[in-house]
Amino acid sequence: MGSLRPVRTDCRRSGGFALIIVLWTLVLIAFIFAQLTSSGRTEIRIAGNLVANAQAEAALDGAVFQTIFNLSDASPERRWSLDGTARELAVGDSRVSVRIEDEAARINPNLASPTLLEALLRAAGSDRESAQRLVAAIREWIGAPMAVRPKDAVSADYRAAGLDYEPPGAPLETIGELGRVLGMTPAVLAAIRPHLSLFGPPQPDAAHADPVVAAILAAGAPGNPIAASPRNPQAPDVVTARITADADGPGNARVRHVAVVRIGQMLPGGYAILAWDSGLD
């Protein structure tokens, strides 16, 4: 009889150990389940956000092309104006705000005269000497006529400034490229950027110019007036518009598209997209 007692003790110990294993297993399973549930909820939220953003993106695309359609209306009195007025559109489940501006009312640094560029820099706060020096540097960068300094002298100035590049002697491909011009500062570029475009004529159209450009065109310069450029008389119906569309989609999705579009009956299909978002800079 005495020999049976250790056996009972061992059984109790084995049962207790097994119970601990079971409890720890249950805890582990519960932890894994909680992690999977949390991960699943996160992935559902991410998927929902992606769907909402995709819907807002699609609504923006639709709004841009609806704007092009309205700007292409054969009846001039029904065409939307290029005055920057916000228009509200409902596209699917999204609300889209669209603003249309006249891109030809901006200053094109690839084509603008030195007088016009200097006037813009002066309006942005540069003194006369700094503005003239920066205009010369811009014209050397784009290889403009009358930028007559020898290439070696220009390159030497960039090396002396600690820069490992030199002007390409070619038109700007982006407005941001101006930041590489010798003497250009981030503050000056930020001040003049809203008034610039690579898609405008040599002289801005004053009809829809912003207050800064309008003041420059109105003031001119002593002995060298700055005149606004009229619409091309051979293509009076061709316009270049900047379309800014902001969408508020489902799930608080917010997306923006900016497109520059040339519109006119003489163009294949009636319009040409010149830039879309990243192509603007």
For the chain, give every domain's residue range.
Answer: 1-108+197-205+232-281, 114-195
Which residue ranges in the chain fall short of pLDDT 70? 1-19, 22-23, 26-28, 30-31, 33-53, 147, 220-236, 249-251, 278-281
Question: Helix or strand or coil: residue 266?
Answer: coil
pLDDT tens, 73-107?
888 888 888 888 899 988 877 788 999 999 999 99
Pairing between β-strand 254-263 and β-strand 83-91 as defined by DSSP bridges: unpaired
pLDDT tens, 15-56?
566 667 766 776 667 667 666 666 566 665 555 556 666 777
Question: Helix or strand or coil: residue 244?
Answer: strand
Angle, in degrees to the nearest 10, between helices 211-219 and 114-123: 130
Strand boundaries in 118-253, DSSP class E: 239-248
90 beta partners: 95
